[in-house]
Amino acid sequence: MSKVRIIEPEGFSDLWALWRDYARKTDGRGKARPTYRKWLLEGADPADILDGARWHIRSMKDDERPFIQLLSVYLNSEKWMDECEKERAYQARLSGMEQSTNVVSMKPAPRPANHFLSKLERGEVTLASGE
């Protein structure tokens, strides 16, 4: 008996790679693939599904992780339709933080008059030569 290689729909391998690390042992590609394909045939955008799954996993609390839904159940619940926008807003906030222009450069604190470098600049102190 040999394995039959089923062609996966566009984007499914990325979704499964994301979900697999959190999936329960009873979850599998065989259950999720037909559900994913169904939603693509209904007109779903693979990017929406993937972004929704990212948000779903990101927003789960640690004590909820052992009870994550099967991927096929998650897809059929249509949560990804709402959660994809949350993920995109989150990513936009992150990129906005990286490009933030409200950073102010600070001048170094002034040195007191008795500081060695202040005295050196005024000529009060000379450096000994190493010869």
Instruction: Let me know if residue 81 belongs to a domain.
Output: yes
Residue 113: per-residue pLDDT? 79
Instruction: Let me know if residue 79 belongs to a domain.
Output: yes
Question: Has residue 2 got a pLDDT over 70?
Answer: no
Domain count within the chain: 1
Angle at 19 between CA 14 and CA 21, to 5 degrees: 115
Domain, as residue range, for 78:
12-101
Instruction: Let me know if residue 106 belongs to a domain.
Output: no
Give pLDDT tens digits for 46-56: 999 999 999 99
- How confident is the model over 23-41, as a mean pLDDT? 91
Answer whether 80's CB lies under 8 Å from 49's CB. Answer: yes
Answer whether 50's CB lies under 8 Å from 15's CB. Answer: yes
Answer whether 74's CB lies under 8 Å from 56's CB. Answer: yes
Instruction: Let me know if residue 114 belongs to a domain.
Output: no
Residue 88: per-residue pLDDT? 93
Give pLDDT tens digits for 70-108: 999 999 999 999 999 999 999 998 887 766 566 677 787
Q: Could you give the CA distance from residue 83 to residue 47 in angstroms, rounded to a whole number? A: 12
